[in-house]
A and B are shown apart, each in its own frame.
Chain A
């Protein structure tokens, strides 16, 4: 994962009932979040101030990641509460 010196910009999508944590809850498009270099998934979740038990699944560039995993500049992050369907 490339190291960067400046802040990173992450494209965040909040799904399902997490819509209320978006800057504009009605806008389903990804929104940018700036984080310091080396920030992790946990840092992102903390910045978004989402109830921890609602952040059940985090996908970074289509791969499910854990809270301790680092993020890279330009990453696309999808965050989901517990959901199912089928």
Chain B
């Protein structure tokens, strides 16, 4: 029986109980959202003692299932005020799976706001330890100190200074296979809620623990083998992503005229070539970096990389497509090395790279600094780290920064900044931004697959027709993948290869002992999760009027297509009607 570990910060106590039977078949996002919805008052302030943080590995995490190392962090989000689930790779999910943990629930708040604690979990149990020495440290130094004390085999979940400052852009870092804090549950400010609990880090030591027991281990093994083979043979998951990483998309989205440039004022960036995935790979190879790097054991895709500095030393993990765009085209910056330095700084400070890049784009439009000023960005990031008044403004995200600097073009939904696809030129993703339970989030329903990539079908990105149904189907599918603990990139294969979805379901059924049909799976992990999240948001005060894009997307034509977002409100309201 998987365990639910509760950490009560008001009494500084830890207890471990069996996961309730009603939640036995839930994992990842389905479990975090279910617990948050059941236990957190929807109207509470996200930084109050009433809020909770739920950290859960996916259903399959820790097993032999390929690409199943995603870890979900759920809470009421400080950036959005909605329910929030943000997931990350790294080695934390598999460590939790081996430790038999379905979820860790951080609740209450410590009496001493200046105290810092680290939660240590191993095969013997869990305990809270004072960790004042970690106060104010960046994620890199925090992890180095924990490795020094606990050995370098442990998995670390941590927050940086931004989380301690309770800034709503704060992320939760998870160590990768090399023990670096490069994988982040970035979106929505989950790190601020962890910080409000006085928790600086969680150390997971699965030494002596086997993989989680499966109902049908042989069945799981066979289905995993079939699924892995399909992933490796697919052109995207087997070839393109391993070779060029996620940033291979830069040239493509730019070619589609949908690459948001200088704070969403253009769809084409003249400097895209210099920050493209191809250029990134050339830099990595020329400096003897690592062009292919899986973020967790058992990932057969390996879309990440190690990006060296000019002298060949480690600088950061290869900045992802969204990160490169946010600090690149969106800020008018065409210098990959500068962007890698920003990526490193933001991983260390512990902030969401999408939100921060969008925030700097807004700040540039507001005149705080010029577009293209990469040195200014790095300087201001240090103000975020220090928590200066200006740093706190920027660390509060694009909406707050836009208000402070008199900017009207603020590309956010429900308080959260849009990622690297302009919704005027790719209308399906605009539907997802508008109607996601999480605020503007591309991963919530990645219509780019059909709108641009021609994977899993094709829907014209420039027309409003069919976008609502496309987004609805993908939002449901994504909730299931996020709950299984699978990397969302498996969807490229699942959408294209007839048996892949069945193999994915076979893995889940074999592991947890269900006999779910595709419809059963869709109901329990996909639709129910979205219903739960939308009900929480309704109770938190959100209505259909919040499922809209900012008005400038309907009134400011985007070059080169001179397109506006013209999906009707009726279509947007239809997205979740089938739940």
Q: Mark B268-279, 1 if CB is under 8 A from A, else 0.
A: 100001001111
Q: In the complex, are the beta carbons of A83 and B448 less than 8 A apart?
A: no
Q: Which of B212-220, B237-245, B344-352 contacts A (4 or more CB under 8 A)?
A: B237-245
- Answer yes or no: B455 CB below 8 A from chain A CBs: yes
Smallest CB–CB gap between B270 and chain A, Å? 13
Q: Mark A54-76, 1 if CB is under 8 A from B, else 0.
A: 00110101111000000000000
- Answer yes or no: B521 CB below 8 A from chain A CBs: no
Contact with A62, one of B235, B268, B273, B489 (Cβ below 8 angstroms): B268
**Distance between Cα atoms of A64 and B252 in the complex (Å):** 10
Chain B interface helix/strand/loop/mixed: helix
Instruction: Provide the residues of chain B in CB contact with A6, threshold 8 Å.
Output: none
Instruction: Provide the residues of chain B in CB contact with A29, threshold 8 Å.
Output: 273
* CB under 8 Å from chain A, chain B span 482-497: 488-489, 492
- Answer yes or no: A47 CB below 8 A from chain B CBs: no
**Distance between Cα atoms of A59 and B452 in the complex (Å):** 10
**Distance between Cα atoms of A56 and B452 in the complex (Å):** 11
**Distance between Cα atoms of A62 and B259 in the complex (Å):** 11
Q: In the complex, are the beta carbons of A84 and B453 less than 8 A apart?
A: yes
Chain A interface helix/strand/loop/mixed: loop
Q: Mark B331-358, 1 if CB is under 8 A from A, else 0.
A: 0000000000000000000000000000
Interface size class of A (residues with CB under 8 A): 20 to 34
Q: Mark B290-332, 1 if CB is under 8 A from A, else 0.
A: 0000000000000100000000000000001110000000000
**Distance between Cα atoms of A15 and B448 in the complex (Å):** 18
Q: In the complex, are the beta carbons of B251 and A84 less than 8 A apart?
A: no
Instruction: Provide the residues of chain A in CB contact with B561, threshold 8 Å.
Output: 62-63
Q: In the complex, are the beta carbons of B277 and A16 less than 8 A apart?
A: yes
Q: In the complex, are the beta carbons of A85 and B278 less than 8 A apart?
A: no
Q: In the complex, are the beta carbons of B239 and A85 less than 8 A apart?
A: no
**Distance between Cα atoms of A85 and B492 in the complex (Å):** 10
Q: A83-B240, A84-B455 are in contact. Are A62 and B492 (CB under 8 A)?
A: no
- Answer yes or no: B249 CB below 8 A from chain A CBs: yes
**Distance between Cα atoms of A29 and B279 in the complex (Å):** 12
Smallest CB–CB gap between A65 and chain B, Å? 11
- Answer yes or no: B248 CB below 8 A from chain A CBs: yes
- Answer yes or no: A38 CB below 8 A from chain B CBs: no
**Distance between Cα atoms of A84 and B236 in the complex (Å):** 6
Q: In the complex, are the beta carbons of A83 and B255 less than 8 A apart?
A: no
Instruction: Provide the residues of chain A in CB contact with B488, threshold 8 Å.
Output: 86
Can you offer 17 A-B residue contacts whose CB atoms are under 8 A? A13-B251, A15-B248, A16-B240, A16-B244, A16-B248, A16-B251, A57-B452, A78-B251, A82-B239, A84-B449, A84-B455, A85-B247, A85-B249, A86-B321, A86-B322, A86-B443, A86-B489
Which residues of A line the B interface, CB within 8 A? Answer: 13, 15-17, 19, 28-29, 56-57, 59, 61-64, 78, 80-86
Which residues of B line the A interface, CB within 8 A? Answer: 235-236, 239-241, 243-249, 251-252, 255-257, 267-268, 273, 276-279, 303, 320-322, 442-443, 446, 448-449, 452-455, 462, 488-489, 492, 560-561
A84-B248, A84-B449 given; name 5 further pairs at CB < 8 Å.
A17-B239, A62-B561, A64-B454, A81-B235, A84-B448
